[in-house]
Structures are given as C-alpha cells and as structure tokens.
Amino acid sequence: MTYVQGFIAAVPAANKEAYLAHAREAAGYFMKWGATRCVENWGDEVPKGELTDFQRAVLAKDDEVIVFSWVEYPDKATCDAASEKMMSDPDMAKMQMPFDGARMIYGGFDTIFDQGK
C-alpha cells in the first residue's frame, strides 16, 4: 500500500492563483523525488463545527479558504527521502508560500484501505 502525506492550510482567497502556481512547482519536486501523485483541493463546502473544524485547526481568518491536499508515495522510505531532499534543496528554500505556513498542519499516513482507484 501507499504512504500519504496530508496537509491542511488556510490560504487567502485572493491568493488562489498564486497558490496553484506554488502547488504546481512543489509537485514537480515531489514527483522528481518519488511521489506518485499530488492532489490539491480548494475548499468549497467546509462547514464550521460546534466543537472542531478545519478553520479552527489552522486558525483560518475570514478571508481565507481551507486547502486540503496530499502527496502519495510508494512507501514511507521514499517519503522520508523526499522530505530530507525538500529540507536541503536550496531551490525549495527560495519558494515563496502564498499562505502562512506556520498555521499549516500535516502528517504522514500508512494507507490501510483503498477502493476505487
């Protein structure tokens, strides 16, 4: 099964095109380093909850949209190697994020069930 890195961020609505350009550039690196798929999703219907929700998880502001994305790798070892390259690549360090990366949440996940590919 695959290994997935998932991300949730709050992006200013006005930065949608800049975010998409950033995502495309980052995907090029991820794919070069072994990712098999990169998916970006722009929030459309992301309700506020009474106890928890995506907005609170990333401290979203009123003018921000929730982005839900993931990068798939064949295994954790490939993901770990890609993460190491990402942290040491000088070109990646030059990339400007069109959102507050400090409020992004992320994690790595082992796929335990996958139906419908």
pLDDT > 70? residue 117: no
Range of the domain at 55: 3-110
Return the closest-CA partner of residue 70 out of 102, 27, 28, 33. Answer: 27
What is the token pair recorded at 27?
A: 């995907």
Q: Are 39 and 19 in contact (CB under 8 A)?
A: no
DSSP string, 50-77: SS--HHHHTT--TTEEEEEEEEEESSHH
pLDDT > 80? residue 1: no
When divided into structural domains, the chain yields a total of: 1
Helix, strand or coil for residue 22?
helix
CATH of residue 70's domain is: 3.30.70.100
Query: For 15-65, how does the pLDDT look when each residue is reduced to its tens digit (9 = 90+)?
Result: 999 999 999 999 999 999 999 999 999 999 999 999 999 999 999 999 999
Give residue 71's identity as a one-letter amino acid code.
V
Position 96 scores a pLDDT of 85
Tell whether 30 is covered by a domain.
yes
Helix, strand or coil for residue 2?
coil
d(CA 67, CA 40): 7
Tell whether 116 is covered by a domain.
no
Tell whether 25 is covered by a domain.
yes
What is the token pair recorded at 115?
A: 């139906």
Tell whether 80 is covered by a domain.
yes
